[in-house]
Amino acid sequence: MDVHGRTDSAVLAPLYADSAGTLHAVFTRRRADLRRHPGEISFPGGRRDEGETLLETALREAHEEIGLPPSAVDVLGALEPTPTFVTNYAIYPFVGLIEPGFEWVIGETEVAEVLELSLETLRAVYAERRLVRRGIPFRTPTYEVDGHLIWGATGRILQDLLARLAQ
């Protein structure tokens, strides 16, 4: 599937079930000193390198950013591609199942912390908000947990994931 965007990128939405069977998603909070998307919450991912598939991109980036080896991911499928409006990226999201209790190895050049958030909690805090970024007002799905705000492209990807899991 194609989506508007000059730069192809991919993300991995790692999911795991805890001992009670509750599904959690794994996110990163980007470092505050980055030029692009500083301090934002996102799924691990990034730009596609020449010669790799989008799935390979998602798995490589998850390994680089949080130390998740591709062999530890059972890829379940893909979600709807998502564009970014300000940075002109075409994001191709993939969903993977992982084992709980993974010890994250943070790629310190990009990632400030790893967040493990239950999908039940995320579903409960959903809101549609009007935000302003770079002087441009827009409406976006948002999810706020413990002061961490998920919005924009990641919010839209999460909204698609939650809708599909509800089915």
Structure confidence at residue 149 (pLDDT): 93
Is 61 within the bounds of a domain? yes
Tens of pLDDT, residue by residue over 92-148, are: 999 999 999 999 999 988 999 999 999 999 999 999 989 887 777 888 999 999 999
Is 147 within the bounds of a domain? no
CATH number of the domain enclosing 22: 3.90.79.10
Structure confidence at residue 92 (pLDDT): 95
- Rounded to an integer, what is the distance from CA 58 to the centroid of its chain? 10
Is 35 within the bounds of a domain? yes
Structure confidence at residue 142 (pLDDT): 93
Domains in the chain, number: 1
Residue percentage of the chain with pLDDT more than 70: 95
User: In whole numbers, what is the pLDDT of the chain averaged over residues?
Assistant: 91
Is 15 within the bounds of a domain? yes
Is 153 within the bounds of a domain? no
Supply 47's token pair: 């730009």
Average pLDDT over residues 4-18: 89
Residue ranges of alpha helices (H) inside the chain are 54-66, 119-124, 152-166
For residue 89, the enclosing domain spans 7-118
